[in-house]
Amino acid sequence: MYAIYVKSTRSIRYAIALVQGYKVMETRTRNVLKSLIGKRVAVIETGRGKSMIVGYINIDKYEYIEKEQFDKMYMFHCVPAGSKYDCKKGSGKYCYWVSNPIPCEPYPVPENAVKHGRSWCEF
């Protein structure tokens, strides 16, 4: 199984928003999830203690979105303007559309997980 790491903050639990269907777009500054297009993946919440799998999503497609359009798409990605994860002026972000979210009771990432950079792993 494949899994993506989603860092939550004190005020916004991005991973939970993804698996509950409130957030339908995951964003990255580099195209690091392209190999997961068309796959069902686990969502690993990081940034709030021990990393835990909190649910599952499908990664359907991606597009590169420039700052101006990114700002208009807040309802899809839930990234507040000016936050650490906001799109920087003069650049864009890779935006991955997700579907079929299913939350689960949080459980630890298996010990045999193989990391592929800081964005995703498989186990």
* pLDDT given for residue 91 in this prediction: 94
* pLDDT given for residue 10 in this prediction: 86
3-state helix, strand, coil in the chain (%, to 5): 15, 45, 40
* pLDDT given for residue 79 in this prediction: 96
Q: Is 38 exposed, middle or buried (0-12, 13-18, 19+ CB in 10 A)?
A: exposed
Distance CA 45, CA 109 (A): 10
Polymer length in residues for the chain: 123
61 forms bridges with which residues in the sheet?
97
Strand pairing report for 39-46 and 2-7: parallel
Q: Which residues of the chain have pLDDT under 50?
A: none
Distance CA 80, CA 95 (A): 15
Residue 53 in contact with residue 123, Cβ under 8 Å? no
Domains of the chain: 2-122 (2.30.130.30)
